[in-house]
Amino acid sequence: METGDMILVSVDDHVVEPPDMFDNHLPAKYRDLAPKVIQNESGNDVWFYEGVELPNIGLNAVAGKPPEEYGIEPTTFSEMRPGCFDVGQRVRDMNANGVLGSMNFPSFPQFCGQLFSRTEDKGTALAMVQAYNDWHVDEWCGSAPGRFIPLAIPPIWDPQLMADEVRRMADKGCHAVSFSENPEKLGWPSYHNAHWDPFWQAIADTGTVPCLHIGSSSQLTITSVEAPINVMISLQPMNIVQAAADILWSRVMVEYPTIKFALSEGGIGWIPYFLERVDYVYEHHQAWTGQDLPMKPSELFRDRFITCFIDDAVGISNRDAVGVDTICWECDYPHSDSTWPDSPERLAAALEGVSDADINAMTHRNAMRFFQYDPFSVLDRADCTVAALRSTATDVDTAARSSGKIVVRPSTPVTIMDLAAASSPTKSPASSPTKTPA
């Protein structure tokens, strides 16, 4: 297949929420309580909610920056590429990269909307979650029909409310919900607990996919606080194996046999080993551990999990052992691991020798099937290829642009402790909103 003929659907990108996102979606009584973007004393744009300045990690919005300027320091909207937060510009950046469809994970509310779960008044909390979801589906995704796979956040503090929200969102055409790779690490019951059953039931009833993004247990992978940050960056995708094992051996597999879980940004190259391992464990230990499964663990995984990769030659060459029908592709725009704006070329290099059927499965068909996403009902298929989309975006400047700031390369490696400090919310009266950007 020619690079230009591929059709690319990315199941993992990120939205940096724009400051006006709550303007149209909250009942009057909650409007003043909504999170606001403020400029803090250091001159950074930060979200401010319930007296707390939320962390702003520049590394999460680096598309279009030269790598020397990546970093964990906060950033401002004016320093970001507009495609991070402006949906019109986002679609243009997708076009320039030949990407047809995209699923966008949240930024400031955290992957499972944990931010709102900490709001004491649960009426307010639910209003914020629903406003977020309405903005996401109606305004962000709605502005470009056929170009986005909508993804809801859950009111994670109450499984019945979660169920209601899943059904409400399914009625709006949203069949994906962000959930945690390990809710126990967030302070909720684990996958082994019946606590979540109303949520699972709604998910099963609506054919919704719980999407478990790496990092959604809010646990940094810390070998040591002294470790260079490269340790954490190296380990992050593969850490999703913890969730894969946890869920594979959980009651959800047996009680809700139609639910499929997406392991978002988890990579795929480790999966053949993992599947061999779980089968080995089942063979060696089933007799005494008292746990039976409806089929071999590797078969169960291939039946119930959706996987994805950014750039993973090992995984692609072992795709049959992964399960080619489970694999989706992702771009990870605007994060630092993204291949934007050269995704088609990087992907084509890794796909050399792969059949058209397998390419189509991994680049878009699997994603369309899993997420009930049908772009061809609104767009002409011929307009959806890499070449066709890029031809509409020849004016988009994708060259890396320096912010002009003087960047000094650190003399000792950035550590996990540095990141932990940057990731902490600041509760400080000095940070009260004094200036709201336009």
Sheet with 36-39, strands from edge to edge, namely 36-39, 45-49, 52-53
Q: Are 221 and 236 in contact (CB under 8 A)?
A: yes
Closest-CA residue to 80 (of 336, 338, 334): 334
The footprint of a copy of itself on residues 362-391 (CB under 8 A) is none
Write down the least CB distance from residue 154 to a copy of itself, Å. 19
Name residue 36's beta-bridge partners.
48
Write down the least CB distance from residue 329 to a copy of itself, Å. 15
> In this structure, is the dihedral angle defined by the CA atoms of residues 386, 387, 388 and 390, taken in order, positive or negative?
positive
Strand 45-49 with 36-39, pairing: antiparallel
Residue span 311-350 as binding mask against a copy of itself, x where in contact by CB under 8 A, dash where not = xxxxx--x--x--------------xx-------------
Write down the least CB distance from residue 281 to a copy of itself, Å. 5
Residue 306: its H or E element: strand 305-309
Dihedral, CA atoms, 339, 342, 343, 347, nearest 10 degrees? -110
Scanning 34-42, 142-150, 200-208, 271-279 for contacts with a copy of itself by CB under 8 A, the matching segment is 271-279
Closest-CA residue to 209 (of 366, 342, 85, 79): 366
Q: Are 297 and 275 in contact (CB under 8 A)?
A: yes
Scanning 18-26, 140-148, 205-213, 266-274 for contacts with a copy of itself by CB under 8 A, the matching segment is 266-274
Write down the least CB distance from residue 339 to a copy of itself, Å. 9
Q: Using the minimum distance from each CB to a copy of itself, give the nearer residue, 254 or 378.
A: 254
Candidate list 102, 133, 182, 326; residue touching a copy of itself; CB under 8 A: 182
Write down the least CB distance from residue 336 to a copy of itself, Å. 6
Structure tokens at 177: 């919900």
Write down the least CB distance from residue 58 to a copy of itself, Å. 10
Kindly state the number of chain residues that form the binding site for a copy of itself, as judged by CB under 8 A.
73
Q: Using the minimum distance from each CB to a copy of itself, give the nearer residue, 87 or 416.
A: 416
- Helix, strand, coil: what percent of the chain each, to 5? 45, 10, 45
Candidate list 44, 70, 172, 325; residue touching a copy of itself; CB under 8 A: 70
Candidate list 288, 397, 406, 430; residue touching a copy of itself; CB under 8 A: 288
Residues 6+ apart with CB under 8 A from 382: 388
Residues 6+ apart with CB under 8 A from 215: 111, 181, 236
Closest-CA residue to 15 (of 264, 309, 333, 267): 333
Asked if 261 interacts with a copy of itself (CB under 8 A), we say: no
Scanning 26-34, 37-45, 406-414, 424-432 for contacts with a copy of itself by CB under 8 A, the matching segment is 406-414
Candidate list 169, 278, 306, 308; residue touching a copy of itself; CB under 8 A: 278
**Residue 206 dihedral angles phi and psi, to the nearest 5°:** -105, 0
Candidate list 29, 284, 405, 427; residue touching a copy of itself; CB under 8 A: 284
Scanning 4-12, 123-131, 282-290, 389-397 for contacts with a copy of itself by CB under 8 A, the matching segment is 282-290
Asked if 265 interacts with a copy of itself (CB under 8 A), we say: no
Write down the least CB distance from residue 387 to a copy of itself, Å. 26
Name residue 209's beta-bridge partners.
176
**Residue 243 dihedral angles phi and psi, to the nearest 5°:** -70, -40
Whole-number Å distance between alpha carbons of 190 and 199: 13
Candidate list 5, 86, 138, 246; residue touching a copy of itself; CB under 8 A: 246
Write down the least CB distance from residue 82 to a copy of itself, Å. 22
The footprint of a copy of itself on residues 186-215 (CB under 8 A) is 189-193
Scanning 89-97, 142-150, 265-273, 357-365 for contacts with a copy of itself by CB under 8 A, the matching segment is 265-273
Asked if 273 interacts with a copy of itself (CB under 8 A), we say: yes
Asked if 219 interacts with a copy of itself (CB under 8 A), we say: no
Give, as one character, the DSSP assignment of residue 356: H
Give, as one character, the DSSP assignment of residue 361: I
Dihedral, CA atoms, 187, 192, 193, 194, nearest 10 degrees? 140
Candidate list 27, 66, 173, 257; residue touching a copy of itself; CB under 8 A: 66
Write down the least CB distance from residue 174 to a copy of itself, Å. 28
Whole-number Å distance between alpha carbons of 333 and 209: 21
The footprint of a copy of itself on residues 221-240 (CB under 8 A) is 221, 223-231, 233-235, 237-238
